[in-house]
Amino acid sequence: MIKKLFFFLLLSAIAVTSYCQETKEEIQKKQQELQREIDELNRNLQETRKNKKQSLGQYALIQRKLRARNELINNLNKEMKKIDDDIYHTNLDIYRYKKELDTLKDNYAKSIVFAYKNRSSYDYLNFLFSATSFNDAVKRVSYLKSYRQFRETQADNILKTQQVLQQKNVQLASNKNDKNKNIGEQNKQLKVLQEDKNEVNDVLAKLKSDEKNLGSEIKERERTRSKLQQALRTIINREIAEAKKREQQRIEKERKDRLAREDAERKRKQAEQQKQAGAAKADNDATAKNDKPETSKPSLGDATTGLTTPAKSDRTYSPFESTSEGLTQSLNFENNRGRLPWPVDAGFIAIHQGAYEIPGTKLKGYSDGIDISLPVGASVKAVADGEVSTIFDLGAQTVVVRHGKYFTTYSNLSSVNVSKGQQVRAGTVLGRAAAGTEGDGTLTFMVTNDKGTNLNPESWLKRK
């Protein structure tokens, strides 16, 4: 019974330790990811600081770093809780193993005392010869052997329990060491967090002092946004009209081809009927007069319609998907939602889609896509396979790429590497990023459907 209990406690301890260790590894992996993100944000922040003018992008960058720092501290708190749980369970195991070790030692001492008292050969022989029968004597010999094995097992269990107890003490010391390291890291991160908060307050104060100029920049941004949205609607409407025209031309061509085939088939049948009638008349004129074949004009049926019936589908009809190529591009774009590559290799989101405002001021704005802050001249790439729909100028170059019934827009480019109508692949360099109104490199990236609805690009791009 004692042996079974010992192995049960040992397996339970191993299971609990493995579970906690796996959980701690996951937490530590998350900490490493957050630290890498913070390091990248610090590098980007060094670039933006080269521009002496305080910008919305710089404010957004510091805010993002602040959120990452808070998340890192929360993660350290989670790790601390796991360490405290480990220490608690380890102390509990040590208490159990000490108690078990005391019990084992006590039982072993009693067995030694008993063996000492009955150590003489006379007592051993007296115990055997006092048996009432031969079978009883055999049982007594077996009992003595079992008792000797039991004492050996007791000694072995004492040694194993002492080893496990020693391991638990080592584990406890390791957990306490981890806790001390965690406390030190927490204190360090809390200190840096306060520095980040002070930096946010400094940037915000400078933005407030420059509220007038910022208001002018936001108004200019709104005018550019309005022009871009209007141009995009015009492009989509034009593309829809061209797609419908191409589809109608295809349908008309199919109708004419079908009518031509049916007319040729009708003429062939008429010629065959005339040939058969002439042969019958030559063979038997009398019979032919009595049995003159009645010729009737073949019915055209539905041949004059010639319209192609679209295949039934659960998808909402879009003229951009009337061809297999357009449908394939739409499906590929949809199936990669949340996994599309970023249009830039390095950068961060300065302004998210939707309404935004500067805290502490009355300044507000709206973004149809996302503004990505990046180095001036950085490469801008297509996020999916498609066709360059158009290129136009709004003070800086803008490229629109169509992916079936979806459109991606890349605005504020200093140069363009593609041409209208060109087929592009995911990763094709479309151009180079230009400087924004605040002096930093900026790319406005948008995702739009065939209805002209702007979709949130962050839900389509993979997480960095």
Per-residue pLDDT of the chain (464 residues; tens, 9 = 90+): 445 544 544 555 544 444 444 466 777 777 777 777 777 777 766 666 555 455 666 777 777 888 888 888 888 888 888 888 888 888 888 888 778 777 777 776 776 676 666 555 445 556 555 667 767 666 766 766 676 666 667 677 777 777 877 887 888 888 888 888 888 888 888 888 888 888 777 777 777 776 677 777 778 888 888 888 888 888 888 888 888 888 787 778 878 888 888 878 887 888 888 877 777 766 665 554 454 444 444 343 443 333 333 444 567 778 888 888 888 999 999 999 999 999 998 888 888 898 887 776 777 888 899 999 888 889 999 999 999 999 999 889 999 999 999 999 999 999 999 999 999 999 999 999 998 766 678 899 999 998 889 999 999 999 86
**Where in the chain are the domains?**
2-209, 219-278+324-464
Instruction: Give residues with Cβ within 8 angstroms of 231, minimum separation 6.
Output: 392, 394, 398
- In the block, tokens 């049995």 appear at 291
* Per-residue pLDDT at 21: 47
Instruction: Give residues with Cβ within 8 angstroms of 166, minimum separation 6.
Output: none
* Per-residue pLDDT at 405: 92
Q: What is the pTM of this model?
A: 0.60
152, 57 in Cβ contact below 8 A? no
191-215 exposure pattern, b = at least 16 Cβ within 10 A, e = fewer: eebeebeebbeebbeebeeeeeebb
Q: Which fold has domain 219-278+324-464?
A: Glucose Permease (Domain IIA) (2.70.70)
* CA distance linking residue 66 with residue 410, whole number of Å: 29
* Per-residue pLDDT at 123: 56
* CA distance linking residue 102 with residue 98, whole number of Å: 6
Residue 356: count other Cβ atoms within 10 Å of its Cβ.
17
* Per-residue pLDDT at 297: 41
* Per-residue pLDDT at 162: 78
What are the CA-CA distances from residue 109 to residues 106, 112, 195, 253, 428 (Å)? 5, 5, 64, 104, 82
* CA distance linking residue 418 with residue 400, whole number of Å: 11
* CA distance linking residue 97 with residue 103, whole number of Å: 10
Query: CA 456, 462, 464 angle in degrees (round to 5)?
Result: 110
* Per-residue pLDDT at 337: 93
Token pair for 209 = 């002092």
What are the CA-CA distances from residue 213 to residues 210, 220, 410, 438 (Å)? 6, 11, 26, 10
* Per-residue pLDDT at 18: 45
386, 332 in Cβ contact below 8 A? no
SS3 (DSSP) at 53: coil
What are the CA-CA distances from residue 424 to residues 148, 276, 329, 396 (Å)? 85, 60, 12, 21
